[in-house]
Structure 1
Amino acid sequence: MDLLQIKTFIDAMAASDLSEMVAGKDGWTLRLLRDGASPGAAAPAPAAPRTRPRAAAPAEIRSPMAGIVYLRPSPGEADFVAPGSTIAAGAVICVVEAMKTFLQVRAERGGTIAAILVASGEEVELGQPLMRLG
């Protein structure tokens, strides 16, 4: 694992609300913890409720890092999801690869895939919308 790969993981974690991230490659293990997070513990609940409820608009699933997006587990297999698919929170919806490191992209909430906004094999940027939930 080199410095650029480590920076990619740090950027991906900074762009998400994850409290912990673990990645491994070639015998190396990288573990990132957000300040105040205990290893393996769930993120603490917010102290006060939000003042504004979330908008009811469709949610977008965004890329957690820059790289190449793949919509299926491997060539010859079916796509993880298709428009109209109903998914549960935590379901794998695609994979983003950077420097031979593959990161599964999981849905933060359940719903129905309204649109797939990228093509398999396409280069994506950090935070780029990948799919829209309806």
Structure 2
Amino acid sequence: MTLDEIKALIDAMAASDLAEMEVAKDGWTLRLARQIHRARSADDPASRPASGAPAFPVTAACAADVPSPVPGAPAADEVRAPLAGLAYLSPAPEAPPYVALGQAVEAGALLCTVEAMKTFHEVRAPRAGSIAAVLIASGDEVEGGQPLLRLT
């Protein structure tokens, strides 16, 4: 299933009144479900309007706009997003980032998380090395396969 097919399914669901949709193709199963909003009281903090600021601070100082050596070809030192979603570089807005530029990491170290459909997916270091570049900012929307960090 391609990203364009997934986006088309999301658009089709958004244009309909379906509550859930499940599609299977090429060994993949995609399940889309609308979030049900419950009635909230005026005292409930979750019912207050959002300020427009992202849930996590965006730290542009950590992000570097460094392209892949060959566009479209994965580099061995790039850590890529496992799926489309929102990428976070720290566990909470006020918490320090999981890793910093230049920091040495072991294989399996937690580098960031990608949130998709209210589920957080951990992105871990595939090998030992050090963080050579952070290619995203916390809260960025990322595509599946997009480079997130670069190891040396």
For normalisation by structure 1, the TM-score amounts to 0.58
Give ranges in structure 1 of 5+ residues lacking alignment: 12-56
Question: In the alignment, residue 130 of structure 2 is paired with which amino acid?
Answer: T
- Give the superposed CA RMSD: 2.3
Provide the residue aligned with 1:127 in structure 2.
145
Report matched runs for 1:1-134 at 5 Å.
59-134=77-152
Structure exhibiting the larger radius of gyration computed from Cα positions = 2
Tell me the number of residue pairs that the alignment of Structure 1 and Structure 2 aligns.
85
Tell me the distance in 2 between the aligned counterparts of 1:96 and 1:60.
Answer: 16
Runs of 4+ deviating beyond 2 Å? none
For normalisation by structure 2, the TM-score amounts to 0.51
Question: Is the partner of 2:115 in helix, strand or coil?
Answer: strand
Tell me the distance in 2 between the aligned counterparts of 1:3 and 1:87.
Answer: 40
Structure (1/2) with the larger strand percentage: 1
C-alpha displacement of 1:75? 1.4
Question: Is the partner of 1:68 in helix, strand or coil?
Answer: strand
